[in-house]
Structures are given as structure tokens and as C-alpha cells.
Structure 1
Amino acid sequence: MLEMFISLDPVVQALIGTLFTWGMTALGAALVFTSKGVNQKFLDCMLGFAGGVMIAASYWSLLAPAIEMGEGNALPSWVPAAVGFLLGGVFLLMVDKVLPHLHPNLPIGSAEGINPKKRKRSTLLFMAITLHNIPEGLAIGVAFGAVAAGYPSASIMGAIALAIGIGIQNFPEGVAVSMPLRRDGMSRRKSFFYGQFSGAVEPISAVIGALAVVFIEPLLPYALSFAAGAMIFVVAEEVIPGSHENGNSDLASMSLMVGFAVMMILDVALG
């Protein structure tokens, strides 16, 4: 099975990897069928874990390979990584200011973006998690694209580890959309639909990322670090604050460290 996967085109590999991460989002959203609600401590723990996975993936799977790829070029090796990283954060900041969205567990009055009051709560929650998933899908896409480009610092197992790690942390994201919608009175079926569909953007952004680096190989170090910067922005701006706002900051912080360790182990052991 693994040999068959390795023989596939990198774009197809990225698509399969993000179909798995989308499935994990759907699995989390499916809890709406089996439970009336999720314990807040558990949800904050899972959000903290997700933040740790994203931080570790940003370095081990994206920034470190980007720095190695920059060695031996005219510019210092840190330039592509630093430029791409900052551009990723700026891009997400701009999208955050424009895209109408509402972070989970916040009142409708806290919605951000352009004209959020004209949108339904369900749409705003969907947009918020979709915003998370854009850099995650992009990260997987460029990771598989890096393998196809033949860089020594990029490995197929490392890209698979990244997909597994992001898939694990997508579980609480599905819960974070479906459960609040159910509490607001939406049917279980519709709550699940919005929860799982928020992960649909990952295969799209993964394919775009893989195609970009396959056809424009010099962009690869910038693309890897761009995805890292975008993910770190999401963690700092939303995931960590969201996991702390209900008074479970110590539990969320320790969960973040566990998530970091799990992703680090996955990347080092498999990559």
C-alpha cells in the first residue's frame, strides 16, 4: 500500500493526504450525532493539542526544510525562510480583516471581517474554521511537492507525518463548528454538514500548493515557510486564545506541549 502511494504523482499524494485530514474534520463533527455537548475542558484540551501540532509542524516539517533548501544559494539560507514566514502571517492577517467570520464559543457581536452582521452565525463559524484550514492544506501540498522536487531535506514519510499530524488536530476543529451550531438550535444533520464541510478547503489548497512548487521549483523554500507563517498566525491569533478563554489555561498549555511533542515525534521518527 505504501509503495503504491509513493509511486503516485505528488499532486495526487497531496489530494489523498488532505482527503484524510478532511475525514478527520468530519469525524469530529460527527460527535454531534452521539452527544448533546462536549465538555469544555475536553474541547480546550483538544484545541491546545491542535495548537501544539501546528507549531511543531511549522518548524519540523516546513521551516527547517526551507532553511536547508536555501543553503548554497546566492542569498543567505535564512532569507527565503524569513521572508516566506512573514508573508504567510501578513497574508492571513489580511484575510482575517476581510473575511467575515466568528470564532467558536464567542457571541455573534464578536464577529470580525467586512460586514459580518449581514451573515448568519453558521456561515461565520464555517468561515472561521475554513480560515484555519487554508494554511494546513497548503502545508501538506508543498510538503509533497518538495519530495517530488528531489530535495534531500524533504522525505515522503515526513510529508505523510505532516498529514497525519494535521489530521489529528482537525478532529477538534470539526467539533468546534458542529457543537456550537447544535446548541444554537440547528439540526444535527445541518450542524454536521457545516462542521465537516469546513475541511473541504484543505484538498483544494493542497493541490494548489503542490502544483505551484512542482511547476515553479525555486518558490519551494518560500512556499514552505509561507505555510508555516500562516499556521503560526492562526495559532497565535485564534487557537491559543480560544483554548484559554474559558479558564482552562493550564490544561490547554500542557495539552499544547503534548501536541508539539507528538508532532515532533511523528516527524522525526517517520521523516
Structure 2
Amino acid sequence: MSGVLLGSILSALATGLGALPILLLQGSITHRWRDILLAFTAGIMMTAAMLGLIPEALNYGGIIEVSVGLILGVLTLTSLEKVIPHIDLEHSISGIQFDEKAMLIIAAITLHNIPEGLSVGVSYASTVNDTGNLIAFAIGLQNAPEGFLVALFLINQNIGKGKAFLIATATGAVEIVASLLGYYLTSFIDFLIPYGLSFAAGAMLFIIYKELIPESHGDGNEGNATYSFIIGILFMVILINSF
């Protein structure tokens, strides 16, 4: 219990850590660096899903359980996006601009943090050592640039830097609740573990392919984004092999 609580808190607080530089930022981040960050985190999440969550799900169940859980994860994210649509970045060379209201941005980002929290909690319910730590670390690495971008979103909506930092940090807090929920459900109902792990993998893969990769390729930075994606994969492979 203490492990999942600590892991979920640290991965969630990574959102605030990523938003911290916004307090010192004088200008706006370029699309090039934004695309590199998105692609790098996509590589990290891809490796965590394919080498962490899915193999672990197969250890607990068969291909049917894994397929059902993965499809449910994708369908759940698809349904959630219809309720609160994803806020796409407006692609322009001059900078990142938004026309949507700040509250919708906050709601969308918070909503998309739920499956990430579930991923952490379900992973800690696994009996294999360090699976939870691995996924929590991967989600934390993904949360850091996300927190930076969320704070940047809010500043572009004429919200002060301090308030933008606090709001960006708060969007990650939902992951703690989702993590504990995923942990308790899979811990006390054993047969849910393969479904939960593959559900989390499906949700992560949906986010990667639906959001992170397309957004990193929208401004002519496909080459840099591709290399960054591969570096993210290699970084996580080295991490998994080391720990």
C-alpha cells in the first residue's frame, strides 16, 4: 500500500516539477522543442506499455484477457474524448496559441490523466517486483513535459504564471485517486489483474498514437520527432534492462 501511494504521488507531482520552469520562462517554447518533448515521452510510454504492461498481463492471463482489456482501454478513451474533447495545439511556426477556454483545457488534461493513474495502480497490484515502480517512473517522465505544456496553455489564456503553475500541478492530482482505485480493484479481485494491465496499456497506446505522435508531426519537425521517439524508446529499454 505504501509503495503504490508513494509511487502515485511522485508520478503525479512530476506534473508540477515539469511546470516549474514556466515561472522563469520569458518567452514561449518553440514548436520544434515541443515536438521533441512530445515524441520523447511517446517513446517512453510505448516501451512501458509494450515491455512492461502487456508482458505482465500475459503472465496473469491469456491472449483473450489481454485483447479484451486492451480493446476496453482504447474504447474507454474514445468515449471519454467524446464527452470532453482533446484540445489540439494550433500548428503555427510563430508559437503555440489556443482559442479554447482555459477551463476546458484543464478538464481535458485532467481527464486524460485518469488512465495514467490507473496504469500506476494496476501495475503495483502485480506481484512481479518493480513493475509498479517502472510504470510510475514512465508516467512521471511523461507528466513532466505535460505539466510544462499545461502551464504554457494557461499563460496563453492570460493566466498569471503562479496560478498557471498551481493549476498545472493540480491536474496531476487526479492520478493519485485513479491509482489507488486501480490498485484496490485489482488487488482484491485477482482475475481483474490481466484485464487491468492490458486496459492501462490500451489507454496508453491510444494516447500515444492519437495524440502525442500526430501532434509531434504537425509543424515540419517529423525528423527531429522521430529521432526523439527512438531515443525515448532506447532510454526506457536501458532503464528496464538495468533495473
Scaled by the length of structure 2, the TM-score of the pair is: 0.91
Report the AA paired with residue 174 of structure 1.
Answer: G
Q: Residue 78 of structure 2: which of 88, 93, 107 is its match?
A: 93
CA distance in 1, matches of 2:126, 2:76: 22
Q: Residue 8 of structure 2: which of 18, 21, 25 is its match?
A: 18
Deviations 1:71-119 (A, max 9, x none): xxxxxx211111100110000000011125423447656xxxxxxxxxx
What SS is found at the alignment partner of 1:85? helix
Q: Residue 59 of structure 2: which of 48, 68, 87 is its match?
A: 68
Give the share of equivalent positions with the same residue, in percent: 35
Report the AA paired with residue 20 of structure 1.
Answer: L
What SS is found at the alignment partner of 2:172? helix
CA distance in 1, matches of 2:132, 2:241: 11
CA contact (8 A) 1:182 1:191 kept: yes
CA contact (8 A) 2:43 2:233 kept: yes
Unaligned runs of 5+ in 1: 1-8, 71-76, 110-119, 148-153
Deviations 1:104-142 (A, max 9, x none): 447656xxxxxxxxxx62112222322332121111101
The answer as to 2:166 corresponding to 1:181 is no
The answer as to 2:116 corresponding to 1:143 is no
State the partner residue of 2:94.
Answer: none
State the partner residue of 1:114.
Answer: none
Unaligned runs of 5+ in 2: 92-96
Change (3 A) 1:104 1:126: farther
Change (3 A) 1:60 1:216: same
State the partner residue of 1:79.
Answer: 64
What SS is found at the alignment partner of 2:29? coil
Offset, 1:180: 2.4
Scaled by the length of structure 1, the TM-score of the pair is: 0.82
Q: Residue 245 of structure 1: which of 218, 239, 243 is its match?
A: 218
Aligned pairs for 1:161-180 within 5 A? 161-180=134-153
Give the structure with higher Rg (CA): 1
Give the paired residue count.
Answer: 237
